[in-house]
């Protein structure tokens, strides 16, 4: 499973921080525990001393009166139980609870130790005091023990706020860091959108302004890639131009030579027939080469850097070129132009689009038919319609008509590339092509819609 960058960064921050919180919690627990022990031991010793103060010789015997203040010192809301025991040097009990354990060794210094009494854990101090009386010295040991309730409470009061503070800090980091990352990762998301929104052939470099410096190497790498693409595209375009020149010239020359040879009135009919066949083949090759190059040009054309093109003028120029072909077949070639039908585009490619459509209409319409080219404005669009009253294309075949090398059921010569070129060029200009039928379900109406030029 791959975690998102945000989750990884969060883990990198949270895990060490959580470890830090655990370690500091343990350390602060330890220190709070020592503090609570010191405070409690001081109280125990102070209580033992107070009891010790009130032990006296009375008529040659040791007498111990435990003052209430000595035990009141422990009063707290935690209901701790306090035990004491006073023993003389001969371990004789002078007062208190006989079950309270004595220290394992004797010492002139107070001894603190842990013990149990009636099933309770108790902290105990043993304090030995020397009592002097008419030359006699008797050490008396005062032992005071106390259950752990108030110590535990003090430990919690010392330790818990610290621990809670650190937990709160951890929670704040866990909440704020993803928020901060979301905000800070926005430039990355924007960069991603910029890259995905780019058109396939857009070759302008990407802008790095306003991006954090960590992202600049990525933009540089993308720009390097774009620069290579630019060189590659330029080379490809150059290749197409060269190929067009290299192929067209000899083919046209060959065609002219064959035409000339045919015109030379060969007596030999077979040679004339062979020459005629060769002429048709070269004509087909020329057409195919021209169409393939046009298709390659349309596919490789940059989608921007267009100029303002008068669509009506393009149609008029094409009609002028094809009027002879129409005339030969007795086809009535007409045109209807509205004012200001301008588009933003590549004039050569638009010329090829119109030429392919009118050529189709003339080629596939029966002798004496009608072909009309219309240029109109519709809302924000420029619309070109080529209408004929020929056989048309059956509705079920229309979707296939745009496929490369699709020829339909026709005996008329052609390469099957014209309509794919038309669609490619229309799309390059942000437009669409639709096929329909004319009046009485007859003929073909090709409608090309493109965004009109906006000044």
Ligand X SMILES: Nc1ncnc2c1ncn2[C@@H]1O[C@H](COP(=O)(O)OP(=O)(O)OP(=O)(O)O)[C@@H](O)[C@H]1O
Site of interaction with Mg ion (CB under 5 A): 360, 418
Please give the Cα distance from 90 to 96 (Å, whole number): 16
Strands lying side by side in the sheet with 444-451 = 332-337, 370-378, 381-388, 444-451, 432-436
Q: Which is nearer to ligand X, 124 or 401 (CB)?
A: 401
438 binds ligand X (CB under 6 A): no
User: 259: which residues sit within 8 A by CB, 6+ positions away?
Assistant: 279
Q: Which is nearer to ligand X, 125 or 387 (CB)?
A: 387
**List 251, 392, 426, 429, residue binding ligand X (CB under 6 A):** 392
Q: Which span (127-135, 199-207, 321-329, 411-419) binds ligand X, by CB under 6 A? A: 411-419
418 binds ligand X (CB under 6 A): yes
Nearest to 138 by CA among 103, 94, 96: 94
Tokens at 146, concatenated:
């106390």
Q: Which span (42-50, 52-60, 243-251, 399-407) binds ligand X, by CB under 6 A? A: 399-407
Please give the Cα distance from 122 to 240 (Å, whole number): 99
353 binds ligand X (CB under 6 A): no
Distance of CA 322 to the CA centre of its chain: 54
Stated as kind and residue range, the H or E segment containing 111 is strand 111-117
CB-facing half-sphere around the CA of 412: CA atoms within 13 A: 17
Q: Which is nearer to ligand X, 297 or 360 (CB)?
A: 360
Q: One symbol per residue from 134 to 173: x for binding ligand X (CB under 6 A), - otherwise; what is it? A: ----------------------------------------
By a kind-dependent CB cut-off of 5 to 8 A, residue 157 interacts, out of ligand X, Mg ion, none, with none
Q: How far is the CB of 412 from ligand X (least distance, A)?
A: 7
Q: Which is nearer to ligand X, 80 or 359 (CB)?
A: 359
361 binds ligand X (CB under 6 A): yes
Give the residue at shortest CB distance from Mg ion.
418
Q: Which span (47-55, 76-84, 234-242, 385-393) binds ligand X, by CB under 6 A? A: 385-393
| 3-state SS assignment for residue 27 | helix
Q: How far is the CB of 218 from ligand X (least distance, A)?
A: 43
**List 415, 433, 450, 453, residue binding ligand X (CB under 6 A):** 415
Q: Which is nearer to ligand X, 345 or 390 (CB)?
A: 390
381 binds ligand X (CB under 6 A): no
User: 325: which residues sit within 8 A by CB, 6+ positions away?
Assistant: 359, 362
Q: How far is the CB of 449 from ligand X (least distance, A)?
A: 18
Angstrom distances, CA of residue 36 to CA of 39, 42, 185, 420: 5, 10, 49, 90
Q: Give yes or no for a contact between 187 and 195, defined as CB atoms under 8 angstroms apart.
A: no
Q: Which is nearer to Mg ion, 282 or 360 (CB)?
A: 360
Residue tagged 């830090």 (tokens): 20
By a kind-dependent CB cut-off of 5 to 8 A, residue 103 interacts, out of Mg ion, ligand X, none, with none
User: 108: which residues sit within 8 A by CB, 6+ positions away?
Assistant: 128
Size of the site for ligand X (CB under 6 A): 23
Report which DSSP code applies to 452.
Answer: B
Q: Which span (64-72, 97-105, 207-215, 417-425) binds ligand X, by CB under 6 A? A: 417-425
Angstrom distances, CA of residue 391 to CA of 367, 397, 402, 410, 434: 12, 13, 17, 10, 17
430 binds ligand X (CB under 6 A): no
| 3-state SS assignment for residue 2 | coil
Q: Which span (13-21, 138-146, 259-267, 404-412) binds ligand X, by CB under 6 A? A: 404-412
Please give the Cα distance from 46 to 50 (Å, whole number): 6
Please give the Cα distance from 440 to 370 (Å, whole number): 14
Q: Which is nearer to ligand X, 112 or 406 (CB)?
A: 406
**List 150, 282, 356, 389, residue binding ligand X (CB under 6 A):** 356
Q: Please state whether beta strands 370-378 and 332-337 pair in parallel, antiparallel, or not at all (unpaired).
A: parallel
Give the binding site for ligand X (CB under 6 A).
Answer: 287, 291, 356, 360-361, 364, 388, 390-393, 401, 406-408, 410, 414-419, 444
């Amino acid at each position: 499973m791959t975690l998102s960058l945000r989750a990884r960064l969060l883990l990198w921050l949270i895990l060490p921080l959580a470890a830090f919180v655990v370690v500091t919690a343990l350390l602060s627990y330890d220190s709070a525990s020592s503090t609570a022990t010191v405070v409690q031991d001081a109280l125990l010793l102070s209580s033992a001393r107070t009891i010790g103060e009130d032990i006296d010789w009375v008529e040659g015997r040791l007498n111990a009166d435990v003052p209430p203040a000595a035990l009141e010192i422990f009063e707290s809301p935690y209901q701790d139980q306090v035990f004491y025991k006073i023993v003389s040097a001969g371990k004789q009990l002078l007062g208190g609870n006989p079950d309270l354990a004595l220290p394992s060794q004797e010492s002139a210094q107070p001894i603190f130790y842990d013990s149990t009494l009636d099933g309770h854990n108790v902290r105990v101090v043993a304090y030995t005091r020397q009592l002097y009386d008419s030359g006699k010295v008797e050490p008396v040991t005062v032992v005071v023990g106390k259950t752990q309730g108030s110590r535990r409470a003090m430990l919690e009061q010392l330790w818990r706020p610290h621990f809670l503070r650190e937990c709160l800090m951890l929670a704040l980091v866990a909440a704020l860091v993803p928020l901060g990352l979301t905000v800070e990762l926005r430039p990355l998301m924007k960069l991603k959108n910029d890259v995905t929104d780019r058109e396939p052939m857009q070759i302008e470099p990407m802008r790095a302004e306003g991006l954090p410096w960590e992202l600049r190497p990525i933009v540089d790498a993308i720009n390097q890639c774009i620069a290579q693409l630019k060189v590659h595209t330029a080379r490809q375009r150059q290749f197409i131009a060269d190929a067009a020149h290299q192929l067209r010239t000899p083919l046209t020359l060959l065609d002219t030579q064959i035409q000339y040879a045919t015109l030379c009135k060969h007596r030999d009919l077979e040679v004339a027939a062979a020459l005629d066949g060769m002429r048709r083949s070269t004509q087909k090759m020329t057409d195919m080469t021209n169409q393939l190059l046009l298709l390659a040009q349309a596919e490789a054309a940059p989608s921007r850097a267009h100029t303002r093109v008068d669509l009506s003028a393009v149609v008029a120029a094409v009609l002028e070129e094809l009027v002879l072909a129409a005339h030969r077949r007795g086809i009535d070639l007409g045109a209807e132009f509205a004012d200001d039908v301008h588009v933003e585009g590549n004039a050569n490619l638009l010329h090829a689009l119109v030429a392919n459509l009118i050529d189709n209409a003339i080629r596939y319409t029966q002798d004496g038919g009608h072909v009309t080219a219309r240029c109109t404005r519709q809302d924000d669009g420029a619309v070109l319609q080529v209408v004929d009253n020929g056989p048309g294309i059956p509705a079920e075949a229309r979707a296939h008509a745009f496929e490369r090398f699709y020829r339909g059921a026709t005996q008329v010569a052609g390469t099957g590339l014209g309509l794919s070129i038309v669609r490619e060029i229309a799309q390059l200009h942000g437009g669409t092509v639709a096929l329909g039928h004319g009046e009485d379900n007859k003929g073909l109406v090709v409608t090309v819609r493109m965004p009109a030029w906006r000044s």
